């Protein structure tokens, strides 16, 4: 049988693992749909954030009250109705998307950074360092993270940056365990042994040789952790432990509307739907990314 050029060169020139994963991901229709939803939420958050920072007028001020127009159902003027103070629900949900996505992405970045460093040290060096670090991680996992967050916020006060910091400091344990498992597998690879034989330092081997090869599962975990942070922030805001009013968040919109549920269903349904759709989109994107990275 005659060999063809594609047999001799199975991968196109410059076709890196990252490009192969990206090509598989963008060929998945469900992944594209979830990505489009994420981009829509992200765009609304960016627009609302810029309007707030620059003082630009929004179509409707999310904090503008009109007692004469309170609890109006969805119509041509107020697409998602108004709340008990006459504030436009759609404007408040758009403003709340800035809080939710900021908390999700920044808390993810904090927990990811801590988890990578802790997991890499534990998995690469092993021995007593691994035992001490993993026992500390196991001890943290014994405590319900939500109640730890509630306790910290009750002591320090409700503030978006305190919420982000606490979420990041509490949510890194899962990432650390994943990174440790990847490093335990990869540290015995031939290229790692060759790097040690060449006299390269531990940090250089960790960040230059091992971590890039463990990046795919870590990135999937990072994407999936974003909706977890959004759900926790929404729960905290619903319990009045989140960002203080009048700043709108999806959670406190639901909290304000629970008293009027029978008369104003839109105060519960629309922000609840936003939380559900945003969380589902991130979960589906993470699952699609996992499938793309696992395909050989």
pLDDT for res 116? 92
Q: How far apart are CA 74 and CA 255, in angstroms?
A: 19
User: For the residues 243-250, what does the mean pLDDT come to?
Assistant: 85
The pLDDT, as a whole number, for residue 82 is: 92
Once rounded to an integer, what is the mean pLDDT over residues 195-201?
83
The mean predicted confidence, pLDDT, of the chain is 85
Look at residue 204 and tell me whether its pLDDT is greater than 70. Answer: yes
Provide the whole-model pTM.
0.84
- In this prediction, residues 33-58 reach a mean pLDDT of 85
Query: With bands split at pLDDT 50, 70 and 90, how would you rate the model's confidence at 245?
Result: confident
DSSP letters for 230-269: HHHHHHHHHTT-SSPTTS--HHHHHHHHGGGTTT-THHHH
pLDDT for residue 13 is more than 70 = no
- Given a cut of 90, whether residue 38 has pLDDT beyond it is yes
Residue 49 has pLDDT above 50, yes or no: yes
Categorize the per-residue pLDDT at 247 as very low, low, confident or very high, splitting at 50, 70 and 90: confident
Range 244-248 contact pairs with CB under 8 angstroms and sequence separation of 24 or more:
244/158, 244/159, 246/63, 247/95, 247/99, 248/62, 248/63, 248/92, 248/93, 248/95, 248/96, 248/99
**Superfamily of segment(s) 20-55+85-294:** MetI-like (1.10.3720.10)
pLDDT of residue 110: 93
- Residue 42 is encoded by which pair of tokens? 């992200």
Q: What percent of the chain has pLDDT over 90?
A: 37
What token pair was written down for 14? Answer: 């410059």
Q: What would the mean pLDDT of 45-61 be, rounded to a whole number?
A: 77
In whole angstroms, what is the distance from residue 150 CA to residue 173 CA?
A: 18
For 116, phi then psi, to 5°, come to -65, -45
User: Which pLDDT tens digit goes with each residue over 136-158?
Assistant: 998 888 888 888 888 888 888 88
pLDDT at 17: 65
> Max CA-CA distance within the chain?
83
Burial class (CB in 10 A: 0-12, 13-18, 19+), 217: middle
The proportion of the chain whose per-residue pLDDT surpasses 70, expressed as a percent, equals: 92
Who wins on pLDDT, 7 or 135?
A: 135
The answer to whether the beta carbons of residues 291 and 220 sit under 8 Å apart is no
Whether the bond between 127 and the residue before it is cis, its omega within 30 degrees of 0, is: no
């Amino acid at each position: 049988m005659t060999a063809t050029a594609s047999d001799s060169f199975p991968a196109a020139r410059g076709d890196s693992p990252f490009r192969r994963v990206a090509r598989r991901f963008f060929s998945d229709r469900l992944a594209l749909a979830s990505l489009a939803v994420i981009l829509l939420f992200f765009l609304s958050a960016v627009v609302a954030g810029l309007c707030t920072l620059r003082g630009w007028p929004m179509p409707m001020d999310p904090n503008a009250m009109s007692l004469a127009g309170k609890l109006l159902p969805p119509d041509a003027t107020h697409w998602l109705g108004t709340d008990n103070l006459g504030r436009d629900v759609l404007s408040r949900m758009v403003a709340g998307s800035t809080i939710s996505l900021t908390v999700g992405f920044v808390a993810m970045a904090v927990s990811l950074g801590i988890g990578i460093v802790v997991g890499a040290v534990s998995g690469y060096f092993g021995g007593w360092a691994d035992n001490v670090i993993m026992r500390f991680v196991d001890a943290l996992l014994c405590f319900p993270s939500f109640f730890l967050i509630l306790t910290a916020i009750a002591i320090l006060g409700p503030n978006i940056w305190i919420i982000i910091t606490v979420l990041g400091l509490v949510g890194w344990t899962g990432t650390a365990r994943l990174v440790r498992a990847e490093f335990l597998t990869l540290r015995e690879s031939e290229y790692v042994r060759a790097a040690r034989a060449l006299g390269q330092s531990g940090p250089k081997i960790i960040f230059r040789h091992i971590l890039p090869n463990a990046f795919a599962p870590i990135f999937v975990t990072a994407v999936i952790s974003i909706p977890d942070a959004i759900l926790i922030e929404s729960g905290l805001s619903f319990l009045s432990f989140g960002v203080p009013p009048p700043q709108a968040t999806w959670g406190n919109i639901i909290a304000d509307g629970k008293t009027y549920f029978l008369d104003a269903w839109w105060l519960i349904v629309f922000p609840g739907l936003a939380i559900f759709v945003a969380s589902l989109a991130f979960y589906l994107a993470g699952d699609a990314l996992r499938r793309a990275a696992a395909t050989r």
